């Protein structure tokens, strides 16, 4: 059996203690979770309008197809994935939920019930939304870019376009979640106006 010299033994023991301490710190660091907010009151019960429109599943680029929040530094191509700051639901589901909550009352006024993609058959007009970018940085701007299409029950494109906007953000992840919530709300309001024109829905007074 080989006996290590005392200095080497102490150095090895110190490394082991530091490694265990670092592991303990990582394990004890809490994960924070965030939700996108629609800014809308809870939906009211009542009779649903007869005409139907589906909101299809929201598409995401691969870099956003994760629970972790994504930072983009200095509006560059440098991204940072924040492992300890995560969305409380898949991001595509969160964007879908906020869009439904923003669009539902506007479309109901025009006689349309907005359904999720799984609530209706294939032969229902559908709104398709693909998120191209949704990220931001501290004390800078959050940015949202999206592509959309409105198709009739036969798949014919009735309207389509691009949306892009920025929203100031604050010094932490909670402020990033708020600014990105506002961006998705703005996307919903923009889509409501586009759908009103395409479907000839008059605006509420």
What does pTM read for this prediction? Answer: 0.82
CATH code (residue 136): 3.40.50.10610
Total domains present in the chain: 2
Q: Is residue 50 located within the same domain as residue 96?
A: yes
Q: Is residue 17 located within the same domain as residue 69?
A: no
The tens digit of pLDDT for each residue in 17-26 reads: 555 555 554 4
Q: Is residue 100 located within the same domain as residue 47?
A: yes
Q: Is residue 81 located within the same domain as residue 17?
A: no
d(CA 173, CA 57): 26
Residue 119 reports pLDDT greater than 80: no
| Residue 23 lies in domain | 1-30
Report H helices in 66-169. Answer: 91-109
d(CA 103, CA 193): 10
Q: Is residue 120 located within the same domain as residue 51?
A: yes
The answer to the question of residue 161 being in a domain is: yes
Burial class (CB in 10 A: 0-12, 13-18, 19+), 123: exposed
């Amino acid at each position: 059996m080989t006996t290590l010299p005392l200095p080497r033994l102490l150095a090895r023991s110190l490394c082991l203690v530091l490694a265990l301490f670092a592991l303990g710190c990582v394990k004890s660091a809490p994960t924070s979770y965030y939700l996108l907010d629609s800014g809308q009151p809870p939906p009211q019960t009542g009779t649903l309008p007869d005409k139907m429109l589906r909101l299809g599943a929201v598409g995401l680029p691969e870099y956003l197809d994760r629970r972790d929040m994504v930072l983009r530094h200095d509006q560059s191509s440098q991204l940072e994935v924040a492992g300890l700051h995560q969305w409380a639901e898949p991001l595509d589901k969160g964007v879908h939920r906020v869009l439904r909550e923003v669009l539902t009352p506007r479309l109901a006024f025009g006689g349309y019930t907005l359904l999720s993609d799984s609530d209706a058959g294939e032969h229902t007009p559908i709104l398709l939304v693909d998120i191209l970018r949704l990220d931001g940085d501290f004390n800078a701007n959050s940015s949202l870019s999206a592509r959309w299409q409105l198709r009739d029950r036969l798949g014919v494109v009735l309207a389509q376009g691009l949306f892009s906007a920025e929203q100031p953000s604050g010094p932490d992840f909670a402020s990033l979640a708020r600014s990105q919530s506002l961006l998705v709300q703005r996307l919903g309001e923009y889509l409501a106006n586009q759908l009103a024109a395409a479907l000839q829905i008059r605006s509420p007074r």
